[in-house]
Each structure stands twice: as C-alpha cells, then as structure tokens.
Structure 1
Amino acid sequence: MNSKRVRYKKKPPAFTGPRERFSQMLVRMRQLEGNPHYIALGMAVGIFVSITPIIPLQTVVAVTLAFLVRGSKSAAALGTWLSNPLTIPLVYYANYKLGCMMLGYQKTLDSLAFDSFSQLMELGLEVTWAMIVGGVFIGAILGVVAYFVTFRVFITIRRQSRQADTDSGSGQ
C-alpha cells in the first residue's frame, strides 16, 4: 500500500472571520434537504433557542425541540449559530433589560449593591429570571421572523434549482 500525504502550501486559517463563517453557513443551508416548511421550522427553533440564556445546552435543546415539532434538526443546529461570542453580550443585555421591564423590577444591575451572600444569591435569581423572560420573548419574535424569512429563501432556492434542472435537461 502506497499512501501519499497531501501537503498544503498554506495552512488553513485557525480562525475564520465573520464573512467566511457566514459564507460557510449559507453553503450548509443550501445543502439542507426537505421541504421549505420543515427547514424553516427547524431554523425558527434554532434561532429561538439561541436567544435564551442556556449556552452550554443550546444545540441539544434546539435539536430536541426540532424533533418534537417535526422540524429540521440540522437547520435548528445551524440556527443556534446566532449565539456566538460577538452577539452574546448584546443579546443577553437586551434579554435582561426587557425581562426587568416585563417583570417590573425597579432595580437593575446598574444600580444594585449587595452586602451579603444571600443578597447576592437573590440578585442572581432575579437576573436569571429576567434573562429567561426577556430571552423567551425576544426569541419568540425572532423565531417567527426566522421562520418566514427561511421559508421564503428556500422557496426561492427550490424554484431556482428546478429552473436550473429544467434548463439543463432541455439543452441536451
């Protein structure tokens, strides 16, 4: 057996920039199989879960929910990519602020001080609850938007694909 090792002139970059990541995501999205409703439902679930403050479990929760609602599990996993180191601080801050407003919390992290461990624990519970409430609300809105956008995109992709198949079939 004679196996050759492939050597590259340049090493692939360790970190890809936002454009490359977005481009990779679009390529992966185009490769998703299923009808537009199935894919859009999975993407909506993934986007919804990506907004909630459950970082280490987002993909597992999104795929599980996609299974339960019979959406695309691959699209759900892709949808969780919305949550990344660049967006998390903004998303979580918005979740917290909206959650505080919805729950009627008068004090926010900006104005709080604590004198004991029990006060710190109470503060942590309020912050967590505010982030969950805000995250579910924002996530639901973005999930609905993601459903309709993804649905339209995949209707267009499928139409273009059928058109390309028709054009290539008639040219023989």
Structure 2
Amino acid sequence: MLFRRRKPADVWERTRTLFWPRRSFWRSAQYYAKRVLRLTATPHAIAAGIAAGVFVSFLPFLGFHFILAAVLAWVLAGNLIASAIGTAIGNPLTFPLIWGSTYKLGCFILGSHDASDGIHFGRLLGHFEFWQLWDPVLKPMVAGAIPIGMAFALGFYLVTRWSVVTFRHERQRRLAERATRRAALSRAHAGAVARG
C-alpha cells in the first residue's frame, strides 16, 4: 500500500485515536464530510442514510447502531454506507450528552421521576440483569431519544441533501469550464498547426 505506516499502530495507539484523532477533530469531520459528498447515490439516498444513522445514534442500544441504522436506511430508501457514517454522531464524546438529555426528556414525557440514583448499575450489569434496567433507565431513554433523534435527523437530512446537491452542481460547473478551456486550447493548437 502506498501510504502505509512504517511502524504498525499498536493497541494503545489505536485506542487513543479512537477517542482522540491524530490530527484534529475538525480534520476528521472534514474527512467524513468528503466521504459523504463523494458517495455515488441520489441526494435523497445519501441524506436519508445520514439521517438514519444520526437518529439511531440517540437510541441507547449500543452495539446495534450499525444494524438499526442499516435497517432504517433501507426502509427510507437511503444509502447504507451513509447510514454507517451517520452513526459517527454517537461517539464517546457525545454519548454523555445524548444519554443525559434523552433520559431527562424521557422522564418528563413519561411523567416518571429520576430513578437513576437508586439503581446499582454495577450489580445489575455484573449479574446480567439487563431486563431490570428497562423500566427505570432504558424506557425513558428510548422515549426521549425519539423526539430528539428525529429533530437532529431532520436537520442532518436537510443539510446533507443541500450539501450534496451544491457539491455536485459546483463539480459539474468546474468540469464544464475545464472542458471549454480544453476545447479552446485544442482549437488554438489546430489553428496554429494549419497556419504553420
């Protein structure tokens, strides 16, 4: 491979870059944006895939985000690769904000009180008693995730669709200008050969 590292990354380096990119978060965001803009699908399919991934990222079902995003993207006629990229909105830096906001909104929607203080998460997870987490924690998080996730998904859909349409329009304009310049140079060269 042309740009392979001389020294392969060890486990520590891969773990560190998972939480903190080597260059910067802005550069990583630009990379993902370029990947999305260059997908070969309709603007609706790309935007629907991104929206599906963003929506699923708000659900508390860790480990199933890719699968759920792919299913939702398929239902919405979205791009599956875009749905996987859209799940990047849920990451170790944003999950505390997402989980806190969905839990609080879910408690408000369901009219329940904050029961997280009386739950011993270590004991429940240590004994694999996940079903006991449903009523006090997961149910409010799902209830809160639906409106917040839909709002963010709609916003990402609109921005992504507009960005893809604009990117493709500008790309076609640049290609047309380049073709016009080449044709003009070709005509000028042919005229010089005819005169010479």
Q: How many positions carry a matched residue from both structures?
A: 164
Structure 2 CA distance for partners of 1:41 and 1:8, relative to 1, 3 Å: closer
Structure 2 CA distance for partners of 1:108 and 1:65, relative to 1, 3 Å: same
Note if contact 1:100-1:108 (Cα within 8 Å) is conserved in structure 2.
no
- In the TM superposition, what whole-angstrom CA distance separates every residue of 1:90-122 from its partner, at most 9, and x where no partner exists? 100101000000000134425x468xx8xx975
Q: Which protein shows a greater Rg?
A: 2
1:42-81, aligned counterparts within 5 Å?
42-81=49-88
Per-residue deviation, 1:170 = 0.5
Give identity over the alignment, percent.
Answer: 29
- Give the residue type in structure 2 aligned to 1:151: R
Q: Which residue of 2 aligns with 1:142?
A: 152
Per-residue deviation, 1:10 = 7.2
With normalisation by structure 2, the TM-score equals 0.74
Q: After TM superposition, where is structure 1 displaced by more than 3 Å over at least 4 residues in a row? A: 5-14, 120-124
Secondary structure in structure 1 of the residue aligned to 2:63: helix
Q: Which residue of 2 aligns with 1:98?
A: 105
With normalisation by structure 1, the TM-score equals 0.83
Is there any run of 5+ residues in structure 1 with no aligned partner, and where?
Answer: none
Correspondence 1:26 to 2:28: no
Secondary structure in structure 1 of the residue aligned to 2:53: helix
Q: Which residue of 2 aligns with 1:129?
A: 139
Q: Which residue of 2 aligns with 1:152?
A: 162
Secondary structure in structure 2 of the residue aligned to 1:86: coil
Q: Which residue of 1 aligns with 2:192?
A: none
Is there any run of 5+ residues in structure 2 with no aligned partner, and where?
Answer: 125-129, 183-196
